[in-house]
């Protein structure tokens, strides 16, 4: 495991996706007595919202198949990809603590507007901009140098698409602010395509959904201590 990122040094850059099994509206990449790794589609809530139309969600679907399953973290409704769940309260507590200590490592992929050029080329770069709640437009977030909390995102270019003026990027949030990746990319002038909250109108209408996917997850199993790495194939 590399100290800087938590990812295995032997892990190839494009490792094959895990074989998945779909049942009851849930795609499960891994299940054992203590944890579940699920693949959430875009448009599905992680937990129930307010109102009868927002009761269908990933956690309830999972609980129908694995009674007692508990949510550990969330993805935005518009974001697709990997979600980790616990099978009992003690495992939920352990995993929650691991998230707090930044011991669970996540990588995302996104397609953004424009040509995003890293400095230096082809290597990881960072966006270091403080994020605060936009109280007048909740739940939106803004960049605020005075009131914002420290927020750091690592990113690198995977591919440029000059014919359509977009860039595919890999992202690793080093802090866990609400909407962090979406806010950071919009702030540097490269909003994620399909982002209804932070993209300008032109970038918003270029995709039928938010083109942001939680593609990789790496962490220490709370029971066995084994280092686990999971991946989800890109749906766009």
Annotate 29-97 with DSSP letters as a single string: EEE-SSEEEEEEPTT-BSS--SSGGG--BHHHHHHHHSTT-EE-----TT-EEEEEEESSHHHHHHHHH
Read off the pTM: 0.89
Tell me how far apart the alpha carbons of residues 174 and 162 are, in angstroms, rounded to a whole number. 29
How big is the CA angle at 216 (ends 214 and 221), to the nearest 5 degrees?
120
Domains of the chain: 21-104+218-231 (3.30.2350.10), 107-204 (3.30.2350.10)
Look-up of token digits 């996104």: 110
Look-up of token digits 């991946």: 231
The separation between the first and the last C-alpha atoms of the chain, rounded to the nearest angstrom, is 29
Catalytic residues: 76
pLDDT in tens, the chain (236 residues): 433 445 443 333 333 334 455 566 789 999 999 999 999 999 999 999 888 888 999 999 999 999 999 999 999 999 999 999 999 999 999 999 999 999 999 999 999 999 998 777 678 999 999 999 999 998 999 999 999 999 999 999 999 999 999 999 999 999 999 999 999 999 999 999 999 999 999 999 999 999 999 999 999 999 999 999 999 999 99
């Amino acid at each position: 495991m590399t100290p800087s990122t938590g990812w295995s040094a032997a892990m190839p850059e494009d490792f094959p996706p895990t074989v998945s099994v779909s049942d009851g509206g849930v795609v499960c990449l891994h299940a054992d007595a203590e944890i579940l790794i699920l693949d959430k589609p875009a448009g599905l809530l992680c937990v129930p919202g307010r109102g009868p139309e927002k009761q269908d969600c990933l956690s309830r679907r999972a609980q129908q198949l694995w009674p007692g399953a508990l949510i550990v973290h969330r993805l935005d409704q518009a974001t697709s990809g990997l979600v980790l769940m616990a099978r009992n309260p003690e495992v939920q507590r352990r995993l929650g603590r691991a998230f707090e200590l930044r011991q669970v490592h996540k990588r995302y992929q996104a397609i953004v507007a424009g040509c995003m050029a890293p400095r230096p080329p082809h290597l990881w770069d960072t966006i270091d901009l403080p994020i605060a709640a936009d109280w007048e437009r909740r739940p939106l977030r803004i960049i605020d140098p005075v009131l914002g909390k420290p927020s750091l995102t690592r990113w690198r270019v995977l591919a440029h698409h000059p014919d359509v003026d977009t860039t595919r990027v890999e992202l690793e949030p080093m802090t866990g602010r609400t909407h962090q990746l979406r806010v950071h990319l919009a702030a540097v002038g490269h909003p994620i395509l399909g982002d209804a909250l932070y993209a300008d109108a032109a970038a918003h209408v270029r995709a039928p959904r938010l083109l942001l996917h939680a593609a990789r997850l790496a962490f220490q199993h709370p029971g066995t201590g084994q280092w686990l790495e999971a991946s989800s194939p890109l749906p766009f």
